[in-house]
Amino acid sequence: LESELLYGVPFEMSEQAQSKDFVIPIGKAKIERPGTHVTLVAHSRPVGHCIEAAAVLSKEGVECEVINLRTIRPMDIETVEASVVKTNHLVTVEGGWPQFGVGAEICARIMEGPAFNYLDAPAVRVTGADVPMPYAKILEDNSIPQVKDIVFAVKKALNI
């Protein structure tokens, strides 16, 4: 799947990533930023928003571990579980609708797996609004997760 919303988003690429021999392992998530207080899990465009939110929260003393799923099938739930065991809190972020989303699947797997016993609070999902995607920029910004929404969700999960 590709996100058209990423077309205009610039980001740095390492020399290694630009090599013709570079391969991203299918089904293996990447920890984009290590942290100790809360696990943020996302894929595609929301990963960048999570990194920005983690930087904002870091100034307030909250260290977020940001996990880039990179693939959703297969999903690297083991990396997510290990992070939840470490941080005791989970926030999922996705641009899609809340019903039947990737965040819902992650939450279900955590609830059904061994990491559930390590959660100190319910998992929190940050999703797009349950509306058709609007074309107007202001409406689009209000229907997909923004950095402020992630910051709010983290504070909710941590009860701060």
Reported as a single tens digit per residue, the pLDDT across 103-146 is 999 999 999 999 999 999 999 999 999 999 898 989 989 999 99
111 belongs to a structural domain: yes
pLDDT of residue 142: 93
28 belongs to a structural domain: no
Question: What is the average per-residue pLDDT within 94-101?
Answer: 93
Domain range for 152: 33-158
Q: What's 93's domain CATH number?
A: 3.40.50.920
147 belongs to a structural domain: yes
By DSSP bridging, strand 90-93 and strand 30-33 are: unpaired
27 belongs to a structural domain: no
* Domains contained in the chain, number: 1
pLDDT of residue 6: 78
Percent of the chain with pLDDT over 90: 82
Q: What's the Cα-to-Cα distance from 35 to each of 75, 78, 107, rounded to whole Å?
A: 21, 17, 19
72 belongs to a structural domain: yes
Per-residue pLDDT band at 1 (split at 50, 70, 90): low
The average confidence (pLDDT) of the chain is 94
Per-residue pLDDT band at 33 (split at 50, 70, 90): very high
51 belongs to a structural domain: yes
136 belongs to a structural domain: yes
| Separation CA 79–CA 90 (nearest Å) | 12
Per-residue pLDDT band at 59 (split at 50, 70, 90): very high
